[in-house]
């Protein structure tokens, strides 16, 4: 079987792709499925995509992305099926989506986040105005199968298509290995990892972290937004690096996952929590959305809502190394059982085989 993956970003750059379907490519190939990836955004474009400015360069790369999609039209029939993540092209009406569906109706649609809702981008505000949200229901209706990543998204997709499967973001537990040499006794690190778009969520717990720092000898580490700062205290902020991602995460003793109480969050699969948990890091997360299924409160992590709860749980974890160890071990076991590549790879594989009617 040969499949063409139509993706917004190049392979290996964004969590929504890396920690979803991309990490199953090797398993697909082991089972006789050849995978060809066609990103809309080139690696050069990706480097400047979330940086302010570069308007003309972004326009040029966007035009090249559309040219790539035109080229793809002429090879769609070479594949047994296509796998579309989010959209074929990012802007306007579903014109390219309609063309692709007509030429190659055998396709799987993978939806992530609430991309059918308009949301302001501070880095690319003009581009966001032209975002094609009508593409999502168009593709959802026509797909052989729809893959979602949260219960809320799955409920949305089922309004248009009965063939859906809710698969959370997953972790390669052979790469994400807990740091057995860490004692977690002194100079604890409270850490967060994410992107520029989600870094502002940390301000939701700035007062809590400030109170914690005033009382205890802890450090706050922010991974993914090197320019990030708090107004009330200092923190260490570093750039995300795909080559050192796991080692950087291992510096964290207690994982932080604050989220706002807004609809957009219901499209998030709890990926940050899963990354911490896979490494045996006790995690404190906002009690909302998919976090309720990812974390067993008080067993494999903690779910909180108020500032008082945030402070109470963080203090308890700081003072009790045995609790940190117990929660971390339970978290690792939960990820291995439910959210690892091994636990989910055959679900993906069967969707491909059944959707494209092939036996290997």
Q: Which CATH class is domain 188-338?
A: alpha beta
Cα angle, residue 194 at apex, residues 110 and 14 outer, rounded to 5°: 40
pLDDT reported for residue 120: 46
**CATH number listed for the domain at residues 2-170+341-355:** 3.40.50.2000
Q: Is the pLDDT of residue 137 over 60?
A: yes
pTM of the model: 0.85
Per-residue pLDDT reduced to its tens digit, 4-25:
999 999 998 888 898 889 999 9
Per-residue pLDDT reduced to its tens digit, 201-248:
999 999 999 999 999 999 999 999 899 999 989 999 999 888 899 999
pLDDT reported for residue 54: 84
User: Which ranges in the chain belong to alpha helices (H)?
Assistant: 15-18, 25-30, 43-49, 55-73, 95-103, 125-129, 135-142, 151-157, 206-215, 245-249, 271-278, 291-294, 307-319, 321-338, 341-355
- Which sequence spans correspond to the domains of the chain? 2-170+341-355, 188-338
Q: Which residue has the tokens 């066609």?
A: 38
Start-to-end CA distance of the chain, whole Å, equals 8
């Amino acid at each position: 079987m040969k499949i063409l993956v139509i993706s917004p970003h190049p392979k290996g750059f964004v969590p929504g792709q890396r920690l979803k379907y991309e990490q199953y490519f090797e398993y697909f190939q082991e089972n006789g499925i050849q995978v060809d990836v066609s990103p809309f955004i080139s690696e050069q474009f990706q480097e400047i995509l979330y940086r302010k400015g570069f308007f003309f360069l972004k326009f040029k790369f966007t035009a090249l992305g559309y040219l790539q999609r035109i080229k793809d039209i002429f090879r769609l029939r070479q594949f047994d099926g296509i796998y579309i993540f989010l959209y074929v092209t990012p802007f306007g009406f579903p014109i390219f989506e309609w063309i692709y569906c007509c030429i190659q109706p055998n396709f799987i649609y993978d939806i992530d986040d609430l991309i059918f809702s308009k949301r302001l981008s501070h880095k690319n505000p003009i581009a966001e105005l032209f975002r094609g949200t009508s593409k999502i229901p168009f593709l959802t209706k026509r797909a052989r199968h729809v893959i979602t990543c949260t219960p809320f998204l799955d409920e949305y997709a089922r309004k248009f298509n009965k063939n859906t499967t809710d698969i959370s973001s997953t972790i390669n537990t052979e790469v994400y290995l807990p740091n057995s040499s860490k004692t977690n006794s002194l100079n604890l690190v409270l850490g967060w990892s994410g992107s520029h778009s989600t870094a502002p969520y940390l301000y939701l717990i700035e007062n809590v972290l400030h109170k914690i720092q005033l009382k205890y000898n802890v450090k706050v580490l922010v991974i993914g937004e090197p320019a990030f700062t708090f107004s009330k205290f200092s923190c260490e902020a570093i750039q995300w690096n795909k080559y050192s991602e796991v080692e950087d995460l291992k510096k964290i003793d207690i994982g932080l996952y604050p989220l706002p109480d807004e609809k957009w969050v219901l499209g998030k699969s709890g990926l940050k929590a899963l990354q911490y948990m896979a490494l045996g890091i006790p995690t404190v997360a906002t009690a909302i959305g998919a976090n309720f299924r990812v974390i067993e409160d008080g067993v494999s992590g903690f779910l909180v809502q108020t500032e008082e709860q945030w402070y109470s749980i963080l203090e308890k974890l700081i003072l009790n190394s045995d609790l940190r160890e117990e929660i971390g071990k339970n978290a690792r076991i939960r990820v291995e059982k439910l959210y690892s590549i091994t636990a989910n790879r055959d679900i993906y594989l069967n969707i491909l085989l059944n959707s494209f009617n092939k036996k290997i």
